[in-house]
Amino acid sequence: MNFGRHGKKDEKPVDVVTRVSELEQICEGDKETYEALLQTMFLDPRKIDAPIKDAADNAKKFEKEKNPARARIWYDIAGGLAIYQGNAKKVTEYFGESQRISKMQYPILKNTEKAVTKAQEYYKKYLKD
């Protein structure tokens, strides 16, 4: 049924425009690194009120209290802040702990150094203090 709409013979199809995000541009076609960062990094970590040490302490506290869901969230926050600080060792530590208690897979653990380097490029280019 047309419901009163009549297609015109000379109508042209609409072009679909794909907008590439800033993070995608920095990852330059490296889909694995892009997806790893998309899952873990904060686009503006300056808006996170908790310092990295507090986030890690909260994660450990909730883990001791047998609350793995909240522990995972705090490990993820600590890991995201470690990405911002450029600390690949801490990124591996925090997301490794999160993966251990949640059984979720964190692709960033496959190539942490490369992901942190790309994240640093993003932060230098797009976060102006």
- Distance in angstroms (rounded) separating the CA atoms of residues 57 and 52: 9
How far, in whole angstroms, is CA 105 from its chain's centroid?
13
Tens-binned pLDDT, residue by residue, of the chain (129 aa): 455 555 555 555 555 555 568 999 999 989 999 999 999 999 999 999 999 999 999 999 999 999 999 999 999 999 999 999 999 999 999 999 999 999 999 999 999 999 999 999 999 999 875
- Distance in angstroms (rounded) separating the CA atoms of residues 24 and 12: 30
Instruction: Identify the residue whose tokens are 């986030």.
Output: 55
Tokens of 123: 């932060």
- Distance in angstroms (rounded) separating the CA atoms of residues 96 and 40: 12
Q: Where would I find the beta strands (DSSP E) of 13-107?
A: none
Task: Name residue 99's amino acid.
Answer: Q
